[in-house]
Structure 1
């Protein structure tokens, strides 16, 4: 009696090829995910150059550790997690995760919520990249990656309350940027 075995998916074949060290499979995996992962890295890095460095370092980790990948989560999620952790490690190494002292700027910003419609991905990334490193990290981890403040605190070695405060400040700064851009646009239209 022969047992039915599930045919291998394209993703399974890709993973197995990468585990075997096949360059063409590694290239295919890189080509499939590099654009999405570059966007992830750009959210954390202060410059495109640093984002590229982070992404390259992270893909080296992906290929080195793909044999440990457990298929209980999507491959893209696993790669994204490596990208985020590599970005955090990179920025910790550069000591860019020190506490920011922008309280005066935060208190002067408008706290009203603004709409994000009409903004391109590049404009939003630029706004996020302009945040101080700690604010950028907490904002990305909470608002985009979906970590809670307790997890963020553990990842960044800060308290849960500090994470909440940093997120609140980051949001206020971003809302202020959006408000200023909208006001500039209105002034241009009315003149």
Structure 2
């Protein structure tokens, strides 16, 4: 049995893509585009806009591929470009505003029970105000710390915490309504 060094293969594909090899670029796009569309979709409600942003972000991936340092995962590097492109799009559209509210609740957020589908959960997240949604996605899904989020969004760290707290509270209320509706208690 021959073991293929996947890391070496990835590095070779990246190097070929840096040299503008279209097959290597297509391989990278084909491998990562489904997951990256999902990332863009977390921030952008309209699937067509999310796809457009993903394609634009992949163009940035290929333009900046020579800058990839091979430190950390390649997928994580691409993901960061996708997230930044989504944030830029939302800023340009001026669809987001942050309330400079330094108060926040350090409450635990119950995990969503498995009775809800991914589409149900995405629908609930999509219904959040843009500021809440962006901070929630960056913190809960992407795993950024509040300090990083504050720097990315050019807001105070306390505002990031507040936006997350309000998003969690709103989501919990929506989940409770959905549960009550499903069980006929509303």
TM-score, structure 2 length as denominator?
0.87
Structure 2 gaps, min length 5 = 101-107
Instruction: Tell me how far apart the structure 2 counterparts of residues 85 and 7 of structure 1 sit (CA, whole Å).
Output: 28
Once the two structures are superposed, residues 25-79 of structure 1 have per-residue CA deviations (whole angstroms, 9 ceiling, x without a partner) of: 1111111001111111011112112211210111000010101101011100000
Change (3 A) 1:178 1:20: same
Instruction: Tell me how far apart the structure 2 counterparts of residues 170 and 152 of structure 1 sit (CA, whole Å).
Output: 15
- Which residue does 1:70 correspond to in 2? 69
Instruction: Tell me how far apart the structure 2 counterparts of residues 114 and 12 of structure 1 sit (CA, whole Å).
Output: 38
Deviation at 1:112, TM superposition (A): 7.8
TM-score, structure 1 length as denominator?
0.84
The question of 1:155 aligning with 2:169 is answered no
Structure 1 gaps, min length 5 = 1-5, 102-110
- Which residue does 1:32 correspond to in 2? 31
Mark the structure with the bigger radius of gyration.
1
Deviation at 1:122, TM superposition (A): 2.0
Task: Supply the RMSD in Å over aligned alpha carbons.
Answer: 2.3
State how many pairs are aligned: 175
Contact 2:99–2:159 (CA<8 Å) still a contact in 1? no
Contact 1:38–1:55 (CA<8 Å) still a contact in 2? yes
Instruction: Tell me how far apart the structure 2 counterparts of residues 149 and 14 of structure 1 sit (CA, whole Å).
Output: 35
Change (3 A) 1:8 1:74: closer
* Residue 139 of structure 1, aligned match among 136, 139, 144: 136
Contact 1:47–1:129 (CA<8 Å) still a contact in 2? no
The question of 1:51 aligning with 2:50 is answered yes
